[in-house]
Structures are given as C-alpha cells and as structure tokens.
C-alpha cells in the first residue's frame, strides 16, 4: 500500500503546528504583568459547576462562598457569577470543547472556580473533543498548575508546579495517523513557556521560605523537549542561589513519593505537564485520596481553581455521586480566596477544614461508608458559622 499522500498531509499538519507554536512562543516573550487584585474595586468570581460529581461538590463550595463572602458581596467588593452549560451534554451538542458564549462569560470574570468536566476518550467511537481544561488553560493562558499536598503528621509539605500549557497536552487532539498503521502525537516545549513556570516555582520557594526545588523530567529519554525543560529550569535556578535545586527523573521520583525514608525532604517540585498531572494524583492519594486535592491554574490575567480529580462517572453510574468528597473543591476555594488577597476568609476556611478533617471530626467522609457530601458540608458550614460569630 502507498502512504505517500497521507504522509504529505501529516507533514502539512506538522508545518502548521510548528508555525502556530512559534507564534505562541513569541507572544509569550511579550507577556503581560500579573494583575494586582488588591487594587481592583470589584472582583468577579465565575462559578462553573462542570458535570458528573462536579455538580455535587460544587453545591458545597457555593454554600461556603456565600457564607464567607456575605459581607464583601453586600459591599459590592466581589460578585459571584454563575456560568452554566459547561457540561459534556451541552459541549457535545454545540460541537465545541468550550462553547463560544460560555468562553465569553468566562473571560468577563477575573478568577474562576470550576468543577470537573468529562472528556471523551480517544480510540473509541466518542467524538474527538478536546478537554475543556486544556482549552481553558490555553485560552486563558493559565501556565502554572499549582497543587499543594500536606500530611502534617508525616512531615509532608509539598507544592507541585506543573507546566500547564505545553508538553503532550497542547496538541493532544491534533496528532496524526498514517492509515491504520501508526499514530503520532506532538510534544511541545518552548523557551518562554519553560522560563515562566520555572520562575513561578522558584519565586514561590523564595517567598515561602522553602529551601529546595526538585526539577523532574525524563531528559535522558525525551532529549529535546525534556532536555530543554531541564536546561532552562537549571538556568532559572541559578538566579536563586539561596535555594537548592536537584534534577530527578520522573520514574524514580514516582517511587520517592512512596518511600517514607526520604519523601519528607522534598518541598517544591517543578515538572512538565504530563508528569505533573500523573504524580500529583499519586501525591493526593498519599494525602487521603484525590477527593482531598485542590489545584490552581494561574496565569497573568486569569486564574482558575478546581478539584484535581475528574467527574467520576463510575460513582454517578453506581448511584453514589452523593458520597463525593467536596474537600477537593473546598481546598481549591481556599486557594482562590488567597490568590485574590482575601486572606482572612481563606484562613477561616483553612481552619474549618482542619477542624472537620482532624482526628476529632464529628463527621467523617469514608468512601460509601461514611458521611455524604451534604452531611459533611452541613458540619463544615456549622464550624464556619461558629468562627464567623466570634
Ligand atoms: P476521576 O478523578 O473522575 O475518578 C476516579 C475515581 O476517583 C472515582 O471513580 C472515585 O472512586 C474517585 N474520586 C474522584 N473524585 C472523588 C471525590 N471527590 N470523592 C470521592 N471519590 C472520588 O477519574 P477518571 O474516572 O479517570 O475520569 C473521569 C472523567 O473526568 C474523564 O472524562 C476525565 O477526562 C475527566 N477529568 C476531568 C478533570 C477536570 O475537569 N479537571 C480532571 C481529571 C479527569
């Protein structure tokens, strides 16, 4: 069989990709300065419930935000903007990963709280639709995915800085196939993209008194893309001489996280997109499950906060969606409040989360055996009300 025509089509696609990505890199070089939320008269917080268990856990976050922000909402310092329709049903019906009117509503906000959204799986009959998150991270240029994980009893206090707009993800729906013989995806690493995520990680380390940053790649195998990531991360590290930095490979780092002998020595992790995605689920499991993990997607103009997990269709199919743990989206809400400098409200939520997840907690989430999302939320809002009335 002759594949010449198909190879030509692939090469054309590759050329388009290279030109687009170079243009993106050059745009990043002219990047804007970060927004100072403290100087804004009113901050618009977009609320996007998502689908699957997203709608369940989002109800918990909505109650908590209404309580915590009551005074600032009344004073007009903040506005909660409901954004409906980012569900798999509506996205498939519109044929767009993030339908245009929803994207416009999102761009009218400053920061976003987002529930998980389902992505159709490749290699099946499902439509080849891009992940809503990948679209939003690209459209809003949310380049830093920040995921904290802490287990105080074991001395674990990790913060992951995952590059969020490049790697295997940026072109994940635009790979090529030659007949039914082979498939090829693209992985992109740019200078400017790596520089800004590396700087975000080292700046965080400096501002938060961290002593070390682990740069995690697979540069021994992915020599061009991960090689560039490692080289640039090391160049940025040289600008922060007070912070130690070490190069690690992702495979051994995955083992390190379950090695109790050494895991508490790590503080900040800096990784390309795919490795960051995978290892942070492992880290969240060590903390108590993906249902406990919050995550921030930070750019210079926008920021989006969400649970680290997905829409859990299996829980929904089993009729157990009401057992979804909302702590993930609540920790994301805490990160959002901190990001917009609502420190008092963020501290109140952190304290209430600690109280309701500690050893003396009145209500415990434990898979399908423990409290439901609504029962836990009632307990948490009660703890918040007590603190607010002090
Ligand atoms: P998932 O994270 O949705 O769920 C995996 C399992 O983790 C669930 O079956 C459940 O047992 C557990 N779990 C997840 N969240 C939980 C919670 N809050 N409380 C209790 N248990 C919880 O992973 P998946 O099944 O691989 O993905 C499902 C869909 O979600 C896919 O379409 C995927 O693309 C999408 N996804 C979306 C996001 C996002 O929107 N940010 C992130 C990851 C996956």
Domain ranges of the chain: 34-142+299-390
| CA pair distance 311, 118, nearest whole angstrom | 6
Is 61 a pocket residue for ligand 1 (Cβ < 6 Å)? no
| CA pair distance 206, 102, nearest whole angstrom | 37
pLDDT one-digit tens code per residue, 65-92? 999 999 999 999 999 999 999 999 999 9
For β-strands 78-82 and 43-48, DSSP reports them as parallel
In this predicted structure, the answer to whether residue 225 has a pLDDT above a threshold of 90 is yes
What is the model's pTM? Answer: 0.89
Element (H, E) at 14: helix 4-29
With the most atoms of ligand 1 within 8 angstroms of its CB, the residue from 113, 114, 117, 309 to mutate is: 309
3-state secondary structure of 361: coil
Give me the percent of the chain exceeding a pLDDT of 90: 86
* Arithmetic mean of pLDDT over the chain: 94
- The pLDDT of residue 390 is 86
pLDDT one-digit tens code per residue, 97-111? 999 999 999 999 999
Is 311 a pocket residue for ligand 1 (Cβ < 6 Å)? yes
In this predicted structure, the answer to whether residue 201 has a pLDDT above a threshold of 80 is yes
Q: Which residues contact 326 (CB under 8 A, 6 or more apart)?
A: 56, 57, 60, 61, 291, 373, 376, 377
pLDDT one-digit tens code per residue, 131-162? 999 899 989 999 999 999 999 889 999 999 99
pLDDT one-digit tens code per residue, 325-348? 999 999 999 999 999 999 999 999
Indicate the CATH number of 34-142+299-390 among 3.50.50.60, 3.40.718.10, 1.10.3720.10, 3.30.200.20.
3.40.718.10
**How remote is the CA of residue 53 from the centroid of ligand 1, in Å?**
8
Do residues 175 and 183 touch, judged by C-beta distance below 8 A? yes
CA distances to 159, 174, 205, 285, 375 from 267, rounded to whole Å, are 6, 35, 9, 17, 34
């Amino acid at each position: 069989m002759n594949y010449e025509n198909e190879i030509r089509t692939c090469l054309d696609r590759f050329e388009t990709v290279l030109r687009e990505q170079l243009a993106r890199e050059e745009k990043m070089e002219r990047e804007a300065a970060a927004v100072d939320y403290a100087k804004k008269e009113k901050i618009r917080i977009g609320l996007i419930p998502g689908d699957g268990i997203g709608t369940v856990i989002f109800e918990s976050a909505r109650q908590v935000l209404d309580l915590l922000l009551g005074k600032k909402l009344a004073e007009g310092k903040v506005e909660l903007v409901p954004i409906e329709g980012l569900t798999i049903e509506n996205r498939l019906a519109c044929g767009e990963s993030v339908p245009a009117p929803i994207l416009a509503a999102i761009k009218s906000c400053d920061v976003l709280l987002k529930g998980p959204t389902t992505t159709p799986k490749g290699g099946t009959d499902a439509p080849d639709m891009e992940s809503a998150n990948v679209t939003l991270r690209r459209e809003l240029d949310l380049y830093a995915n920040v995921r904290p994980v802490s287990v105080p009893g074991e001395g674990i206090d990790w913060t992951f800085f995952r590059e969020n707009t490049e790697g295997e993800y940026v072109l994940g729906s635009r790979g090529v196939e030659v007949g039914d013989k082979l498939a090829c995806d693209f992985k992109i690493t740019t200078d400017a993209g790596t520089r800004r995520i590396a700087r975000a990680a080292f700046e965080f380390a400096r501002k938060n008194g961290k002593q070390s940053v682990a740069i995690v790649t697979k540069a021994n195998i992915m020599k061009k893309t991960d090689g560039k990531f490692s080289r640039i991360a090391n160049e940025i590290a040289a600008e922060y001489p007070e912070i130690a930095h070490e190069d690690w490979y992702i495979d051994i780092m995955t083992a390190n996280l379950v090695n109790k002998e050494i895991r508490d020595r790590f503080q900040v992790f800096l990784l390309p997109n795919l490795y960051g995605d995978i290892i942070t689920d492992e880290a969240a499991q060590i903390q108590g499950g993906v249902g406990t993990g919050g995550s921030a997607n930070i750019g210079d103009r926008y920021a989006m906060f969400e649970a680290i997990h997905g829409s859990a269709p299996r829980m929904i199919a089993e009729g157990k969606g009401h057992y979804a743990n909302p702590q993930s989206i609540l920790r994301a809400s805490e990160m959002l409040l901190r990001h917009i400098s609502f420190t008092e409200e963020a501290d109140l939520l952190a304290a209430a989360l600690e109280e309701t997840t500690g050893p003396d907690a009145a209500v415990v989430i434990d898979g399908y055996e423990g409290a439901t999302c609504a029962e836990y939320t009632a307990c948490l809002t009660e703890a918040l009300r007590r603190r607010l009335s002090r």
